[in-house]
Amino acid sequence: MDLYPLKFKPILKERLWGGTKLKDVLGKPIESDITGESWELSGVQGDISEVSNGALAGTSLKELIAEQGEALLGKSVVARFGSEFPILIKFIDAKQDLSIQLHPNDDLARERHNSFGKTEMWYIMDADPGAKLIVGFNKNVEKGEYIQSLEEGTLLDLLNYEEVSEGDTFFINTGKIHAIGAGVMLAEIQQTSDVTYRVYDFDRKDKNGNLRELHTGLAVDAIDYEQKDDFKVNYPSNKGVANTMVACPYFKTNFLDLNDSMHQDVSKRDSFTIYMCVGGEATITNDWGSTSIKRGETVLVSASSSFVDINCHGARLLEVTI
């Protein structure tokens, strides 16, 4: 099978807090005014991505893995994750604040939900003036103090707020309380998991007039209550090279800021490579073909590729591997 660079149909998700930037800024095929997420590459059960380009158009990611497991994913990736695709790639548009939430670690997620945990990172693509994220606590907090703040409606007083602008990058460990603020559009890279513990939602109601479910009990033993300054990613942005942003056990992400072509020998990589375009446009070429990519699009390059050529006159890419 010729595993040319693959693009996938976006899986679009309406959210209570969503807006129109995914359509207006990134050109996603959306009619709704409350679309909050575009899942670009997903192996989540019920939301499996489907190829949109070339001879394999219409083939699901699950089918590709079944037929071309090691060639697509890499021998070491299959050894760790079997037939599961280990990364979930999204673009997110928050017109309103998201709920205050956190994600369990692998052990808790496996025990409670038969799932991976959810470590993630965010790259800010667009932010309205004054837009903020919530990341962690603003001091060390005791479990009892946290529970009391929920009961008294004062949780927001314990949280750390970070004003953001384009290019800012954040790494969100499991257990870290967090929320994307209104006016932020970002690229998200995470473990394949849809397990979220929502702890506060501003008393909002859904379209049926119901308060959304909170996961107060589950969250109490999953939260990291310690104040930590470990979330803002300071990365180099040298032109024409791969700049390391995040290297964790679940994914590695580089920042590529390119003015012209870049050749990569990936013959020893033993992992698939994902390119998320966060600025400009480019053509991605491997052993079997070429695919164009522009801001707001994502390409998957197989582990069996021996090289990747990126041709452009200006592009910013997030390069993700395992």
Which amino acids are annotated catalytic? 198
Instruction: Give dist(CA 312, CA 43) in Å, integer.
Output: 30
- C-beta neighbour count of 181 within 10 angstroms: 21
Buried b (16+ CB within 10 A) or exposed e, 12-36: bbebbbbbebbbebbebebeeebbb
| In the block, residue with structure tokens 């946290």 | 146
Candidates 22, 78, 318, 302; CA nearest to 190 is 318
**What is the rounded CA–CA span in Å between residue 225 and residue 229?**
13
Tell me how far apart the alpha carbons of residues 94 and 88 are, in angstroms, rounded to a whole number: 18
